[in-house]
Structure 1
Amino acid sequence: GVIFVGHIPHGFYETEMRSFFSQFGKVTRVRLSRSKKTGNSKGYAYVEFEDVDVAEIAAETMNNYLMFERLLKCELLPSDKLHPALFHGSHRSFSKPKASSLSIDRHNSVK
């Protein structure tokens, strides 16, 4: 089962999320949405649990949970609504693009 987690506070990233949600059951995958340009969190994530019942309990428990002065929004996603590439690259840690390569690409682009 997969849950959507919204309104994530700053500093609550993949490793913290995995360890926090493991109190409910086995977490198989975590995908935190990040900006491609800056690498900062966009404030929402998807957490996949091994068992659907555990995911449902976690979503109910964590919905409107106050964490670091932010109310988390959690909901269980139906399996037919999940995109096949939702967790693509979730096993890798995020590496921010180098500013020098971004400026080179911007300079060399056709105007």
Structure 2
Amino acid sequence: MNQSKIYVGNLSYNTTEDELRDLFSQYGSVAEVKLIIDFSTGRSKGFAFVSYASSQDCENAVEKVNGYQMGGRKLKVNIARDDNRRPTGGARRPNSHDRSSYRNSDDRRG
């Protein structure tokens, strides 16, 4: 498990990476803030990941910020789990090289 990365959930869609960095830097040296954005809408998905330089800073931030009110919402903060599953995408769309979703041409006889 990656002990220096935390998950931050229940964010307002208006929350910015800078606001998160300002909040979490109060509890240690922040290495990275990654606000997750919906590709199709360009809007926040309402969660982020914050990485710290040390696991001690990370644990301190989880303890202090979980339940904190930000943007009118109560934040859900916990240690991020390492998830080795492949990312899931949207619906699979056939392309010119993949006709498996089409009927066999022999089925088109009149």
Shorter-normalised TM range: 0.5 to 0.7
Does 1:54 find its partner at 2:57?
yes
Shift of 1:82: 5.2
Asked if the contact 2:13–2:45 (Cα under 8 Å) also holds between the matched residues in 1, the reply is: no
**Superposition pairs of residues 24-103 of structure 1, within 5 angstroms:** 24-78=27-81, 81=82
- Calculate the TM-score normalised by the size of structure 2: 0.68
Provide the aligned C-alpha RMSD in A.
1.9
Distance 2:11 2:51 in 1: 16
Unaligned runs of 5+ in 2: 85-95, 97-110
Distance 1:7 1:72 in 2: 5
Unaligned runs of 5+ in 1: 84-109
Number of aligned residues: 83
In the alignment, which residue of structure 1 is the partner of 2:10? Answer: 7
Identity fraction in percent:
35
- Calculate the TM-score normalised by the size of structure 1: 0.67
Q: Which protein is bigger by CA-based radius of gyration?
A: 2
Asked if the contact 2:28–2:57 (Cα under 8 Å) also holds between the matched residues in 1, the reply is: yes
Per residue, is there more helix in 1 or in 2? 1
Amino acid in structure 1 at the alignment position of 2:49: Y
Deviations 1:33-81 (A, max 9, x none): 1110111000000000001011001011111112222110000125xx2
